[in-house]
A = this chain, B = another copy of it.
Amino acid sequence: MTDLIHPVILCGGSGTRLWPASRESFPKQFIPLAEPGRSSFQATAARLGDAATFARPAVITANDARFLVAEQLAQGGIKADILLEPCRRDSAPAVAVATLHAAARDAQALVLILPADHAVGDDAAFVQAAQAARAGARAGHIMTLGIAPTHPSTAYGYIQPGTSLSGEAGEAGARAVDRFLEKPDAARAAGLIAEGALWNGGYFLFRADVMLDELEAHAPAVLEAARAAVETATRDLDFVRLDEAAFARAPQISIDYAVMERTSRAGVLPVSFPWSDIGTWGALWEVSTRDADGNALRGRVAVQGTRNSLVHSAGEILTTVVGLDDVVVVTTDDAVLVTSRSGGAEVKGLVDTLRRQGEPEADAHRLMYRPWGSYQRIDVGARFQVKRITVKPGGRLSLQKHHHRAEHWVVVRGTAEVTVDGTVRLVHENEAAYLPIGCVHRLVNPGKIPLELIEVQVGSYTGEDDIIRIEDVYGREGR
């Protein structure tokens, strides 16, 4: 056993409370929210850069998010194992899988579980906390980080710390856990803080063998399913794809319920770095840089006579607020949310309603990521649709055909290699290609810079499901 910490980033959430920026197709951990230009997932991964402290990280994420995870890691120059959950099963199965993955190399590996969607205001303090918690983990405790509360939050669970742990762990500041407490009401929260309770940040540091023992004791069905899913996992490009049938057997339960509230081996290290789970737009306002009027403004935004508000324009839309205080206004290219800074928790209910009404904006973004790049619908009419398609250098779309539409491609940047019914040709900037209905075609970017093209689809039906895939290098069933 070495002292290295094996970090595992839990990256499977869908985060509808930060709609419309966060959606099923592009959840909040992947969006630059708390800081410009970098998602909380990227910030979390970057926080683990000290190779003397952290081993190569693993990321557990939903199957649909795999190319997004790979892309964002590549942007940050970070190498990681990417474990793919074939379905959503809450945190206990994910922790079980992560632990088994680490234990395969070192039965006593130190595993650190981190949520991908939290903001930490002091990276060095976080690393020091992880280092300080090691002694407790080595001694057989499942260590948590207990964050010093800054206000009586009703959005967080609390940890009541007990006596100091013995030996080196205690010297490093670690204490036993008296109990875990669920989200309290406001009065109870104030009382808990007065009694010395800490926020449960959702970080766990433990020896793999210890967690496996505790899973065996308290959640054997979770462990069994996770073990089967890992043992029959397949490698697919850079991904470890967990076995679907096995993983689906895991009960849907959080690690807090499954293990932490039942184990006698929980420990807590009190820490005091700035932290937020960015659970609501109001929480994002709390951790954002604000101007003299208390406004957190991002993107194409103008305000007048407005204070203590969050105004966030994620796309090109000019977003203005006049004469209102304490509001949240979030604009994307296809949706707008206006709410109060305190009312953020109700957004989830709104998204549920939109979903029931069949509004596509409930879950889908206009900009869709694919392994070869991305596409975005820019116009649609009765018998046509227009998309901007971006293909990464080396990216290859599937060999495909359509039953109901012809396509016109105009290259506006880079070079395309276009295959139509077996004939390959290069199409350069300001050149066009025509793909008649029913032709078998493929688009490849053979160049060194991204390829951008405008696709005009014409036909009686232009839905995404009119794609007959003949061959795909990414092993996908969709486009």
Contact = CB atoms under 8 A, between A and B. Distances in A.
Interface of A: 20, 302, 304-305, 313, 316-324, 327, 329, 331, 333-340, 343, 346-347, 349-350, 353-354, 357, 359, 361, 378-379, 381-384, 386, 388, 406, 408, 410, 412-413, 429-430, 432, 434, 452, 454, 456, 458-459
A39 to B, nearest CB: 23
Which residue, A20, A316, A327, A408, has most C-beta atoms of chain B within 10 A? A408
A324 B304 contact: no
B316 A384 contact: no
A349 B302 CA distance: 12
B316 A334 contact: yes
Contacts of A430: 406, 458-459
A334 B350 contact: no
A168 B368 CA distance: 73
B334 A317 contact: yes
Given A317-B334, A379-B454, 5 more contacts: A304-B350, A317-B335, A327-B338, A378-B379, A381-B412
A388 B379 CA distance: 8
A347 B322 CA distance: 7
Contact of A386 (B305, B321, B378): B378
Contacts of A429: 383, 458
Contact of A432 (B321, B336, B357, B408): B408
Contacts of A323: 339-340, 343, 346
A329 B317 CA distance: 14
Contact of A346 (B304, B454, B459): B304
Nearest to A331: B336
18 contacts: A305-B343, A313-B336, A318-B354, A319-B336, A320-B336, A320-B338, A320-B350, A322-B338, A323-B340, A323-B343, A378-B386, A408-B432, A410-B456, A412-B458, A429-B458, A430-B459, A432-B434, A454-B454
Contacts of A331: 336
A177 to B, nearest CB: 36
Contact of A302 (B327, B350, B378): B350
Q: Which of A327, A335, A410 has the most CB of B within 10 A?
A: A410
A333 B432 CA distance: 29
A272 to B, nearest CB: 33
Nearest to A386: B454
A383 B432 CA distance: 16
* 3 nearest A-B pairs in the assembled complex, by CB-CB distance: A323-B343, A384-B412, A322-B339
A457 B6 CA distance: 51
A343 B357 CA distance: 32
B386 A346 contact: no
Contacts of A20: 318, 320
Contacts of A413: 381-384
Contact of A339 (B321, B353, B412): B321
Contact of A338 (B324, B386, B410, B412): B324
Contacts of A357: 302
Contacts of A353: 302, 304
A300 B113 CA distance: 42
A336 B329 contact: yes
B320 A337 contact: yes
A354 B302 contact: yes
Given A379-B454, A430-B458, A322 B346 contact: yes
A343 B305 CA distance: 10
A459 to B, nearest CB: 8
Contacts of A334: 316-318
Nearest to A333: B317
Nearest to A408: B410
A291 to B, nearest CB: 16
Nearest to A309: B338
B452 A454 contact: no
A128 B432 CA distance: 63
A456 B456 CA distance: 10
A324 B317 CA distance: 22
Nearest to A337: B320
Nearest to A342: B323
B408 A318 contact: no
Contact of A350 (B322, B329, B336, B412): B322
B350 A458 contact: no
Contacts of A304: 346, 349-350, 353
